[in-house]
Amino acid sequence: MIGSAPDIEVTVVLALPDRVTEIAVRLPAGATLADALEGSGLSERHRDVDVARARVGIFGKLSDRKAVLAHGDRVEVYRALIADPKGRRLRRAAARSKSQPK
């Protein structure tokens, strides 16, 4: 169609402990992050992950689902942390200091 913006292609990514899923999605120009998630079918492929409530981002930066995407963007779905990394480091350090002789 003359005068219409070309489609864009983005990659939707979900990293799980045992595998990574990457899905290429073709969308109309002006599509949002939410459109990419819906178009990827990720929630159907990974029913164990609540894609609708997960935090999401573009190239490692948290983003709103209303964010407009550009061609080549990498849409990332972030899983909830099982444990706070800082807290885990502090507990390990405390355990090490208790086990070392004085």
pTM (2 decimals)? 0.74
Least confident window among 12-16, 23-27, 30-34, 96-100: 96-100
Handedness of CA 34, 55, 80, 8 (dihedral sign): positive
List the helix and strand counts (H, then E) for the chain.
Answer: 3, 5
**Ranges 18-22, 24-28, 96-100, most confident:** 24-28
Whether 54 shows a pLDDT value over 80: the answer reads yes
Residue among 56, 53, 54, 79 nearest 66 (CA): 56
Q: Which residues of 39-55 are buried (b: 16+ CB within 10 A; e: fewer)?
A: ebebbeeeeebebeebe
What tokens were used for 12?
């939707």
Whether 14 shows a pLDDT value over 90: the answer reads yes
Total length of the chain: 102
Q: Does domain 8-99 have CATH number 3.40.50.10420?
A: no
How confident is the model at residue 102, as a pLDDT? 61
